[in-house]
Structure 1
Amino acid sequence: MSYSHEWFLSLLAIIAILITPGPTNTLLAASGLNRGVRSSLALIPVELCGYGVSIATWGYLLISLSANFPLLPHVIKFLCAIFIIWLAFKMWRTTLAIGEVKSSPVGKRALFMATLLNPKGLLFASAVFPSSTFVDLPSFAGQFLVFSLLLIPIACGWIAFGALLGSGRVPWLRPDYLQRGAALVLAVFALSIGMSALS
């Protein structure tokens, strides 16, 4: 597989995982529902910080452990594939819980902790970002810059999605349609990760 092909697949994987409903995206949508788009944009740097700390921690931890346990990256990738399939199945059967957090405003601390503890951080560190990302600080900074450029419009989209749900002007825009579409994308991505773990 060529480097450009790997790079393209990595970008697609980042987009697929970021766009998938989860605790962080639910909070962003809930903030858009409660406070509107403009007031919610201040949460995006908080999300970036949460992912930055999470991905860096997992990535450097896995790199240091892989020296003594060379099969560890393959095992982690395989477990990530199983987790993603479970997540896809769960998403297919449930609906987005934006309304459950509608009554309380979404704070920066809550969003940071939700993002920091989000399993997506481990997915990015172990299965999406190249291992060379965690060799030195410039490599991580370059990869995280690309990640950030993809995250910002997706986060804006989730905030706008929440605001649209609150407006009631788009009755056909239903969270369950979004979740089922995302579940299918996740299932395909899980198969790809599982095959790479076994190769």
Structure 2
Amino acid sequence: MVENWLFIFAIFAVLLIPGPTNALLASSAHHQGIFKTFSLIPIQLLGYVYGISIWSLIMHLTMPVWPMLTSILHAISALYVLWLAFHLWKTVHLEQHSRKNTTLNRSQLFISTLKNPKSLLFAAGIFPQWTWDSFQNYGFVIGVFCLILIPCALAWIYFGRKVLTGDVKGMTADRLYKGSAMFLMLSMLPVFVGFFDF
């Protein structure tokens, strides 16, 4: 597990990489406008907090019966990161996603965020082990997570819209995805190192 300040860097990396929720925000900003999309950030935050909390509850409840579950989930998280980096390197689905999703409502964003595999990655691989020791620790880490999510969501709303409209010179969805894949692999090294600490 990442047990020092590096988990903050890993949170930034995972929240900034393209994914279903970020693509929905970019598409919403492109089709519905930036200001309307701003109001969806609390819904995204709520979806992540619920998803992370559900995964942590599952791990906590199964720990006495199946103590290896946390290690297995950590391994799944590491494999997910590898798959995601490879997937981002060879695809440019931001424009296709935008064409399919011209409108976005609150329930659609909440469900997409709740089902997002990044929630498992945060709960099992990125958040420090001491997060689950007390409500105070949990509140602190979730607070840090919320403070990081807001600028990341704003970045996707602003820059995602610009990429979709072609306003960023030299920046295409293809380059955005390839850069995200390299950034993800670099910043997720602590997760892979934590996997070998078990």
Q: Aligned partners of 2:142, 2:161: CA distance in 1, in Å? A: 28
Give secondary structure in 2 for the equivalent of 1:97.
helix
Length, aligned pairs only? 195
* TM-score of the pair, normalised by structure 1: 0.89
Q: How does 1:57-96 map to 2 (within 5 A)?
A: 57-96=54-93
Contact 2:13–2:188 (Cα < 8 Å) also in 1 = no
Kindly provide the CA deviation profile for residues 154-196 of structure 1, in whole angstroms up to 9, marking residues without a partner as x: 1001000233135433232211111111111223355542332
Q: Aligned partners of 1:168, 1:73: CA distance in 2, in Å? A: 43
Q: Aligned partners of 1:128, 1:148: CA distance in 2, in Å? A: 15
In structure 2, what is the equivalent of residue 178 of structure 1?
176
Q: Aligned partners of 2:129, 2:58: CA distance in 1, in Å? A: 11
Instruction: Choose the corresponding residue for 2:156, options 135, 155, 158.
Output: 158
Deviant stretches of 4+, over 6 Å:
none
Identical aligned pairs, as a percentage? 34
In structure 1, what is the equivalent of residue 129 of structure 2?
131
Contact 1:82–1:190 (Cα < 8 Å) also in 2 = no
* TM-score of the pair, normalised by structure 2: 0.89
Kindly provide the CA deviation profile for residues 32-82 of structure 1, in whole angstroms up to 9, marking residues without a partner as x: 111221111001000000001000110121122223333322222112111
Q: How does 1:132-151 map to 2 (within 5 A)?
A: 132-151=130-149
In structure 2, what is the equivalent of residue 10 of structure 1?
7
Report how far residue 136 of structure 1 moved. Answer: 3.5
AA of the residue aligned to 2:103: P
AA of the residue aligned to 2:45: L
- Indicate the larger mover: 137-146 or 113-122: 137-146
Change (3 A) 1:167 1:85: closer
Report how far residue 30 of structure 1 moved. Answer: 0.3
Contiguous gaps of at least 5 residues in structure 1 = none
Give secondary structure in 2 for the equivalent of 1:7.
coil
